[in-house]
């Protein structure tokens, strides 16, 4: 029979509240900042429902030392609403603990524990039989591994770690760490922040460690579903960890091959087929790249596609050379334009091809009596 969990932990790093989302327009940027706050609230609700005794927030809780009043109020409300939870915060490279920072300036409720030194220290929770170790970035850089030479005191309590650091490089400016640090330190669970794409939680010796990743993607470098970790530690010090998805919206990159498409209707049909298959809806921030060889002058209804998703970044890399042979023989101005642009349309350089394709599309639209979309 499974032993009952002794300690229940919620681990959420790199929330990056108040991220500017400057690549989105103002309205969508604001919506994403609201998403981030709601995601945080959703995570805290989950931690309460699971009766977690500890919420570990290992850094970059804020995107910047600056945090809006609204966000700070929301945090304090969440902390106060969960008097049975101990919140441990380890400031990261984006939200270092320094004079004037939110961490130093704001009086947080009593159940909030914030590391303030770049050296290892700990918060003791004898009622849980556990101590949480950690440190704080006090500037954007931390070049020393705080765990190098760390020798923990044996006090019979479970050792946990909540910290921001970089396991990917021994010469990192963002607190270089190594796996052997965790084993030597005898940690049962090391909740890390810094790497936004979680490679999952790993085990080395008796230590479980890993990055939760960021719970919301913030750019096309952070695609796919995201979330946080819930961990249970039993009386024997055994750990059971599970990933919990929380992202409200998902960045996705898709491409659609329009080879052979002659009309806008054909292109739409193909693109909408992709939307359907991939279930691309209002929760998706989409980068869609159109590829292939399609009819010269073909356009797609970008505004209609954009309405189906949260935000659309459309990249047209098609080559308007399908049926080009016909156009090459065309004795009107349309054919002449095609022949002039042909060397560029078939250039090795994708940038040159793209510019020539745009020029051909604009030219053909104008010759048909229309107004090119981009003018």
Name the site residues for Mn ion (rule: CB under 5 A). 14, 60
Query: How far is the C-alpha of 141 from the C-alpha of 179, rounded, in Å?
Result: 20
Q: How far is the CB of 13 from Mn ion (least distance, A)?
A: 7
Smallest Cα–Cα separation from 116: which of 131, 126, 94, 101? Answer: 101
Q: How far is the CB of 78 from Mn ion (least distance, A)?
A: 20
Backbone angles phi, psi at 292, to 5 degrees: 95, 180
> Is 273 exposed, middle or buried, given 0-12, 13-18 or 19+ CB atoms closer than 10 A?
exposed
> Whose Cβ is closer to Mn ion: residue 125's or residue 209's?
209
Are residues 290 and 262 in contact, defined by beta-carbon separation less than 8 angstroms? no
Q: How far is the CB of 363 from Mn ion (least distance, A)?
A: 47
Backbone angles phi, psi at 161, to 5 degrees: -130, 135
> Whose Cβ is closer to Mn ion: residue 14's or residue 316's?
14
Backbone angles phi, psi at 76, to 5 degrees: -60, -40
Q: How far is the CB of 17 from Mn ion (least distance, A)?
A: 11
> Whose Cβ is closer to Mn ion: residue 166's or residue 232's?
166
> Whose Cβ is closer to Mn ion: residue 197's or residue 315's?
197
| C-alpha pair distances (Å), 302 with each of 106, 249, 288, 315 | 46, 21, 10, 10
> Whose Cβ is closer to Mn ion: residue 50's or residue 98's?
98
| Number of other residues whose CB lies within 10 A of the CB of residue 222 | 18
> Whose Cβ is closer to Mn ion: residue 60's or residue 216's?
60
For residue 180, what are the contacts with CB-CB under 8 A and spacing of at least 6?
A: none
CA–CA–CA angle 166, 175, 44 (5° rounding): 65
Q: How far is the CB of 92 from Mn ion (least distance, A)?
A: 6
Smallest Cα–Cα separation from 195: which of 11, 47, 16, 13? Answer: 13
Query: How far is the C-alpha of 106 from the C-alpha of 146, rounded, in Å?
Result: 26
Query: How far is the C-alpha of 171 from the C-alpha of 144, rounded, in Å?
Result: 9
Q: How far is the CB of 101 from Mn ion (least distance, A)?
A: 16
Q: How far is the CB of 174 from Mn ion (least distance, A)?
A: 9
> Whose Cβ is closer to Mn ion: residue 18's or residue 60's?
60
Q: How far is the CB of 193 from Mn ion (least distance, A)?
A: 6
Q: How far is the CB of 39 from Mn ion (least distance, A)?
A: 15
Are residues 249 and 285 in contact, defined by beta-carbon separation less than 8 angstroms? yes
> Whose Cβ is closer to Mn ion: residue 14's or residue 131's?
14
- Map residue 57 onto helix, strand or coil: strand
> Whose Cβ is closer to Mn ion: residue 19's or residue 188's?
19
> Whose Cβ is closer to Mn ion: residue 82's or residue 214's?
214
Smallest Cα–Cα separation from 135: which of 188, 193, 220? Answer: 193
- DSSP labels, 220-250: TTS-S--EEEEEEEETTS-EEEEEEE--SSE
Closest CB to Mn ion: residue number: 60
Q: How far is the CB of 21 from Mn ion (least distance, A)?
A: 15
Greatest CA span in the chain, whole angstroms? 90
């Amino acid at each position: 029979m499974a032993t009952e969990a002794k300690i229940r932990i919620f681990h959420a790093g790199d929330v990056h509240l108040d991220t500017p989302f400057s690549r989105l327009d103002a309205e969508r940027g604001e919506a994403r900042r609201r998403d981030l706050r709601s995601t945080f609230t959703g995570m805290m609700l989950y931690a309460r429902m699971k009766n977690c005794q500890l919420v570990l927030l290992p850094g970059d809780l804020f995107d910047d030392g600056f945090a809006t009043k609204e966000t700070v109020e929301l945090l304090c409300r969440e902390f106060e609403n969960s008097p049975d939870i101990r919140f441990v915060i380890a400031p990261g490279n984006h939200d270092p603990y320094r004079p004037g920072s939110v961490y130093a300036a704001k009086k947080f409720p009593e159940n909030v524990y914030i590391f303030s030194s770049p050296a290892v220290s700990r918060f003791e929770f004898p009622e849980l039989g556990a101590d949480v170790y950690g440190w704080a970035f006090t500037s954007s850089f931390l070049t020393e591994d705080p765990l190098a030479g760390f020798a923990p005191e044996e006090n019979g309590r479970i050792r946990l770690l909540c910290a921001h650091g970089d396991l990917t490089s021994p010469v990192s400016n963002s607190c270089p760490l190594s796996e052997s640090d965790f084993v030597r330190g005898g940690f049962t669970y090391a909740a890390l922040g810094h790497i936004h794409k979680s490679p999952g939680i790993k085990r080395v010796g008796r230590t479980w460690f890993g990055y939760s990743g960021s719970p919301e993607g913030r750019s096309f470098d952070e695609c796919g579903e995201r979330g946080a970790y819930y961990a249970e530690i039993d009386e024997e010090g055994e750990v059971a960890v599970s990933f919990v998805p929380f992202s409200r919206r998902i960045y996705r990159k898709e491409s659609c091959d329009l080879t052979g498409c002659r009309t806008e209707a054909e292109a739409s049909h193909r693109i909408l087929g992709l939307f359907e298959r991939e279930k691309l809806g209002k929760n998706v921030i989409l980068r869609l790249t159109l590829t292939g060889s399609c009819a010269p002058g073909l356009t797609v209804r970008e505004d209609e596609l954009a309405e189906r998703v949260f935000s659309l970044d459309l990249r047209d890399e098609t080559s308007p050379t399908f049926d080009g042979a016909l156009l090459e023989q065309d004795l009107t101005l349309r054919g002449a334009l095609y022949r002039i642009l042909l060397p560029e349309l078939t250039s090795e350089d994708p940038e040159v091809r793209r510019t020539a394709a745009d020029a051909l599309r604009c030219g053909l639209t104008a010759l048909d009596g229309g107004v090119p979309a981009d003018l």
